[in-house]
A and B are shown apart, each in its own frame.
Chain A
Amino acid sequence: MFLRVLSTEYLKLKRTLALWMILVSPLVVVLLQFIVSYKRSGVFLKDGKDIWQMIVTQTVEPWTILLMPLFITLETSLLAGLENADKNWKSLLALPAPRWTIYMSKLAVTITMLLAAHVVLVAATFASAVLLKQIFPGLHFGGMPLHPFAVPMVKVSVAALLGVTIQHWVSLRWQSYTAAMAFGMSVMVISVFAVQSPAIGPWFPWSLPMHAVLKGAAGHNQITLWSLAGATLAALAGCWEFTKREII
């Protein structure tokens, strides 16, 4: 039953803005990165330094700090909006699918969308680097290894899970687009300050992705573990609340 429900959740994404955002959000970052790299290519041409490391930083940092939190907030809100729009909960939950399958399917869809955006981000960054090489054949790309790019992206993906799981619950709990957006924006702003605190940074759910890619930050394993354990707990607690909820 879970797989059948999951397939209906993917079907609902057809022709939605949410689906387009998977392409658009990473491409915004890659475009900005390309402009910066293009402008600085003169310097790199002159001293012959490896530009690939700078491209990766110019991609991972703005994505982790700005675009990804926006993406998560927007996608969870849009997904919840699909059901809130026509008061669809009353008919969806009057179908014989157990409620947990619906809650978990929607969470799975959100996580898939985040991972898909990361795949787009990595692919588009490689494409932009290839393009830059065409324009400035003299640029040095250090062989463009995947390693310095993939590792932080995997870390960010895992560290984001706790925030995603909580945001997912919030967007389904209050059937209002504005409430979910306001919540997402607030925690995003707070996380920027929280990440600077050694005491709060490694614990505040929305600071974890930033913390995971912070240069020289210790305790990466602890962040991964906390995000995974916290996400599991948050998913179970949210799911439990969802199955008990009265639909009015």
Chain B
Amino acid sequence: MPELAISTTAISKTFDGKPAVRGVSLRVETGSVYAFLGPNGAGKSTTIRMLLGLLRPDQGDITLFGLDPRQHRGEILARTGSLVESPSLYAHLTARENLEIPRRILDASRSDIDRVLKIVGLENARESLVKTFSLGMKQRLGLALALLGNRQLLILDEPTNGLDPAGILEMRSLIRQLPTEHGITVFLSSHLLTEVEQVATHVGMLSQGEMVFQGTVSELEQMRRPFLRIVVSEPESACALLTAKGWEVRAVDGHLVASDVKAVAAINRTLVQAGIDVHHLATESASLEEVFLRMTRAEVR
């Protein structure tokens, strides 16, 4: 059984009678990059704040590194770095002074400040005031803060929020190197699957406060249902004909989409025999993004 960096048992949180998180059970394996996905308002930030002890769950238990936060808060937080939404920085202090604050609390060595500044590529901005920083630099400094000391787990809430495409790429390559080069488990949230599918090893999907999928990226790949895309001369009559024969067919943008991929030859034969020209007939798969949308939208009641 793999060791778990984060494990929760059916945690729930309600704000003013409105449930924000409902029975979420996370299993984040040590050494993984876990993408925590969900549309706006799904409850990602609420869950993350509970993991960090900023909010108390109404129900359920949380364990980090196998430890109970109610008894081992200090040890857990010394091993867990976080960047929640926008980075929290003191604008009137320099990059080094901003790092000096957690350095003293974590009792890390002075050289550690240079180490993390180097990882995020800010070694030249060491003595600059943070109020002169661009958003991208602030986000990188936020990551440096989270890496300071001996952190074994990083909890990042939308770390690419507000970054331009170049900044997003940079942040992604930084995150990708963390487990391999520094042995750090990464738990990051996003509302875009495309943003994390290249870095994640595991995926958890949240919709309206509930987990709708949790597993490896390859398990998610298997959810990509293949389908047939058919382009014909007379879509309406073709659709009626195929439906009458018992196949599940829908018209989408003047194309036909059939779910039974094994019936490709039979469908083709039926259409040709009925005198309908078939211009295109091929098996396609849904993109991961479509799978994500289908799963999170299915929850909308």
* Interface set of A (CB-CB < 8 Å, partner B): 1, 4-5, 7-8, 11-12, 14-16, 82, 85-98, 246-248
Contact = CB atoms under 8 A, between A and B. Distances in A.
Given A8-B101, A246-B55, A247-B54, A94 B91 contact: no
Given A96-B78, A97-B105, 14 more contacts: A11-B104, A82-B90, A88-B89, A88-B90, A90-B52, A90-B84, A91-B82, A91-B84, A93-B53, A94-B77, A96-B75, A96-B76, A98-B73, A247-B49
Q: 9 closest Cβ contacts across the A-B interface?
A: A91-B88, A247-B54, A96-B77, A88-B88, A96-B78, A96-B74, A8-B101, A94-B52, A4-B104
Nearest to A248: B55
Given A95-B106, A96-B75, A246 B91 contact: no
6 contacts: A8-B100, A91-B82, A95-B105, A96-B73, A96-B74, A246-B55
A97 B105 CA distance: 6
Contacts of A91: 82-84, 87-88, 145
A95 B73 CA distance: 9
Contact of A94 (B53, B92, B104): B53
B115 interface: no
B274 to A, nearest CB: 62
Contacts of A86: 86-91
Contacts of B97: 11, 14
Contact of B49 (A8, A15, A90, A96): A90
B contact face: mostly helix, strand, loop, or mixed: mixed
B263 interface: no
B84 A94 contact: yes
Interface of B: 49, 52-56, 73-78, 80, 82-93, 97, 100-102, 104-107, 145
Contacts of B93: 11-12, 14-15
A98 B88 CA distance: 19
Contact of B101 (A11, A15, A87, A93): A11
A2 to B, nearest CB: 11
Best-buried of B73, B75, B102, B106 by chain A (most CB within 10 Å): B102
A88 B54 CA distance: 12
Contacts of B77: 94-96
A92 B88 contact: yes
Contacts of B74: 96, 98
A contact face: mostly helix, strand, loop, or mixed: loop
Contacts of A14: 92-93, 97
Nearest to A245: B54
B54 A4 contact: no
Nearest to B84: A90
Contacts of B102: 95
B159 to A, nearest CB: 13
Contacts of A82: 90
A1 B85 CA distance: 27
Contact of A7 (B55, B90, B104): B104
B56 to A, nearest CB: 6
B82 A5 contact: no
B130 to A, nearest CB: 9
A50 to B, nearest CB: 46
Given A90-B54, A94-B77, A247-B54, A12 B101 contact: yes
A67 to B, nearest CB: 25
A11 B100 contact: yes
Contacts of B89: 86, 88
B69 to A, nearest CB: 11
B54 A93 contact: yes
A15 B88 contact: no
A90 B157 CA distance: 12
Nearest to B155: A94
A4 B55 contact: no
Nearest to B83: A91
A5 B84 contact: no
A90 B88 contact: yes
B208 to A, nearest CB: 19
Nearest to A3: B104
Given A14-B97, A96-B105, A247-B49, A87 B54 contact: no
A4 B53 contact: no
Contacts of A248: 49, 54-55
Given A8-B105, A12-B90, A16-B92, A94 B54 contact: yes
